[in-house]
Amino acid sequence: MRIYTGYERPDVPYDKQYALVVDGLKMAGKIAAKYGVTLAIQNHHDIALHHDAMKWLLDEVNLPNVKAAFDCWSPTLEGLSSEEIRQALLTMKPYIVHTTTADYKELPRFKYEINQTNYTQLQSQMRAVPIGEGFLDYKTFINTLKEIGYQGYITYEMCEVLEGGGSIENLDRAAKKFLEYVKQFK
């Protein structure tokens, strides 16, 4: 079961939030174990987002059924290079039981400042595109998964605004492109 840690809250000290996540994962992991369920923490939320912090968290939780759903999105947005992404996967190797793929293009944004007769750059907007058409380094990511002997699923997710819209035809086209894309890594 794919789960998340949590978004950091500015009104609560980080270490307190982190401890709550650890306690919650231990409690949930023990209950899930009774039913043969593995909890796979996806690296998408603020608490323990970076792979070193996530490994620390998983080491601290120390339950055989609490693992990682580690994907390429967060390390890419953290600014990791191809080699750093490879190293992140090597670090997370003992824990990876699932990965989700999605690809994105970065669309720059600006706001007009009337008093300066100029624009201020804003944080870019990410827009989903079919896999292989964005900036995520899946060549390194998937090849490293193969290198470490990963045998789990690689899923494709269309959870954001997808180029071409949300029609069934466009979603099917993107899903078929994903299936063709991953065949190159066999």
The predicted-structure confidence for 136-170, as pLDDT tens digits, reads as follows: 999 999 999 999 999 999 999 998 889 999 999 99
pLDDT digit string, tens, across residues 86-117: 999 999 999 999 999 999 999 999 999 999 99
Kindly state the DSSP code that residue 61 receives in the 8-state scheme.
H
* Average pLDDT of the residues in 127-139: 96
Q: Kindly list the strands in the beta sheet with 153-156, ordered across the sheet, starting from the edge strand earlier in the chain.
A: 2-3, 39-42, 66-69, 96-101, 153-156
d(CA 24, CA 22): 5
pLDDT digit string, tens, across residues 45-79: 999 999 999 999 999 999 999 999 999 999 999 99
* Average pLDDT of the residues in 112-140: 96
pLDDT score, position 186 = 76
pLDDT score, position 161 = 87
Amino acid symbol at 80: L
Amino acid symbol at 66: V
